[in-house]
Chain A
Amino acid sequence: MNAASTRFGSDVVQIEPTGTECEQTVIPEDIALTDLMDPSALPDETRGEADDEDVALLRLIDAGSRSAFDRLYRNYYRRLKRFLGQIIYQPQLVEEVLNDTMLVVWRKAGTFNRASRVSTWIFAIAYRSALRGVRRSSVPKEAERGEDFDAFKNEPEANVIQSQLCARVRTALNVLSVEQRAVVELTYYHDRSYREIATIVGCPVDTVKTRMFHARRKLKTALDAQELSEK
C-alpha cells in the first residue's frame, strides 16, 4: 500500500497506510494511562478516512499549525462536550475539562503513533481529564442532575412525550457512577465497541462488560421505579 497525501490549506501531509504495523501508543505523561492499548484489540477496518484526516491534522499540530488545531477542535467539540456533559454535570467544568483535553492534544500530538484511532486517543485523554476535573470539583461525583418535568407544559404533545422519556432516562442515569455512565454513553450514544471503550477508560474489556452489566441493572431498576411512581 502506498502512502497517500492530504492537503489542509497550504499544508500537505503524508499519510501512512492504515494497515501498517503499529507500536504501542505513547500516552502523555500527565495522563498516566497505564494499560492503554493492545494493538490487536483494534482492527484496522475500524479506521477510515476520518481517522486519516485526524492523523494528518495531528501531524500538522505537532508542527505547530494553529489552523489544523482549530479544525480538529471544531471536529471534536460537539462529541467531547456531549461525552463530558454526561460524565460531569457542571457546564462550566465541562468547558474547562474540554479545553484541558485539547490543550493536552496540542502539546502531545507528536506522541500519537496510530496504535488506536485518533478519536479513541482523544476520548481517552478527555476521560482522564474528566475524572481529574470531578475529583478537583467540590460537587460529589454522583451529583443529582435536576429534571424539571413542569418545563414540558407548553410543548406539543409528541414533543412532550419524547422530552419526558429523555428526562426519565437522564434521571435514571443519575444513579450510575461516573465510570458506569462513561461506558453507557460511549456505547449508546457514541457507538463504541467494548474494546475501544476499554482503551478509552483504561481498563480490561471484562471490566467494561461488568460496568455495563451493573449499569443496565441499575437503569432498569430506576426506570421501573419511575414508572411505578407515576402510576
Chain B
Amino acid sequence: MKMRLFRFDDPAHAEAAELLPWHANGTLDPLERVRVDRHVAECVACRRDLAELLRVQEIVKADDDHDLAMPNSLDRMHALLDAGRRRRRTDAAGMKNKWARLPLWIRVALPVQAATMLLLVAFVIAGRSTEPAYYRLLGAAPTLAPDTDRIVVVFAPGTTEQTMRHTLLRIAARVVDGPNAAGAYTLQLPARTQDAALALLRARSDILFAEPTPLPQVRRP
C-alpha cells in the first residue's frame, strides 16, 4: 500500500492519532478500529507512533518490579471491618450507658424541659392564628389587599429626570412599578400621606395624572 504523509490537521489523522493508545490495547469499537486501521496503513507518522506505543506498552506490562504479594493484608482488612462493627455497637451502647449514668434529677428535668418548650412553641403558634385566615382558590383571580398608599402618576412629556426625582423626593415617594405602555408610574407613599401628596402633584403643571391605585376586584364565588 502506498504510504503518505498526512497533514496534522487532517481529521482522519487527528482521530487516528488520538485513538492509537486504545488501538494498541485492542479496546476500540469495531468501527473505530476499521477507521484507524485504514489510516495507519497509509500514514508513516501513525505507524511509527503505534510501534513506539506497542514498545512502551510491552515494557509497562513486563514491569513486574512491584510487590504485589498479599502478606497479612486480608487480616488487616478483617481487623478494619471488625473495628467498624464494634464501633457501631459501642456507639449505640455508649449512648444508653451515658443516659443511665446521669443523675436522676437530670433524667427527670430534661424531658420536662423539652415538654415545656414544646408547649411554649404551640402556644405562640396558636396565638398567631387568631388573625382571620385568608383563603383563595388556585383558579380564582388574584385578590390583593387594598393598598391605599400607592398612587399612579403620569408625568408631562419632556419632564427631565432631575425634575421627576425632585418631585418624588418632595412627597417621599418611591417608584415601585412603571413606566407602563401609557407612561404611568406606580408610586409607594409613606403611610397616611396620600391626600397631601395627591394635592401637591395635581397642582403641578408637569403632572398630567395623579390618582390612587384602583382597588382590586374581589371575585365572589
Residue ranges of A at the interface with B (Cβ–Cβ < 8 Å): 43, 66, 69-70, 73-74, 77-78, 81-82, 85, 91, 95, 98-99, 102-103, 106, 162-163, 165-167, 169-170, 184-185, 187-189, 191-194, 196, 209, 212-213, 216, 219-220, 223
Find out whether the CB atom of B61 lies under 8 angstroms from the CB atom of A189: yes
Find out whether the CB atom of A188 lies under 8 angstroms from the CB atom of B76: no
Which residues from chain A contact B77 at a C-beta distance below 8 Å?
73, 99, 102-103
| From A70, A162, A192, contact of B74 by CB (8 A) | A70
Q: How many A-B residue pairs have CB under 8 A?
A: 83
Can you name 10 A-B pairs with beta carbons within 8 Å? Answer: A74-B70, A81-B68, A95-B73, A167-B65, A184-B60, A189-B60, A191-B25, A194-B19, A194-B27, A209-B19
Say yes or no: is B212 at the interface (Cβ < 8 Å to chain A): no
**Whole-angstrom distance from the CB of B58 to the nearest CB of chain A?**
9
Which residues from chain B contact A69 at a C-beta distance below 8 Å?
81
**Whole-angstrom distance from the CB of A100 to the nearest CB of chain B?**
9
Find out whether the CB atom of B66 lies under 8 angstroms from the CB atom of A188: no
Nearest B residue (CB) for A192: B27
Residue ranges of B at the interface with A (Cβ–Cβ < 8 Å): 18-19, 21-22, 25-29, 52-53, 56-57, 59-63, 65-68, 70, 73-74, 76-78, 80-81, 84
Find out whether the CB atom of A166 lies under 8 angstroms from the CB atom of B65: yes
Find out whether the CB atom of B21 lies under 8 angstroms from the CB atom of A169: no
Find out whether the CB atom of A162 lies under 8 angstroms from the CB atom of B27: no
Find out whether the CB atom of A103 lies under 8 angstroms from the CB atom of B81: yes
Please indicate which of the listed interface residues A95, A167, A170, A188 has the most CB atoms of chain B within 10 Å of its own CB.
Answer: A188
Cα A91 to Cα B69 in complex, Å, equals: 12
**Whole-angstrom distance from the CB of B178 to the nearest CB of chain A?**
45
Which residues from chain A contact B84 at a C-beta distance below 8 Å?
103
Q: 8 tightest A-B contacts by CB?
A: A193-B27, A166-B63, A188-B60, A78-B68, A188-B57, A191-B25, A169-B59, A187-B21
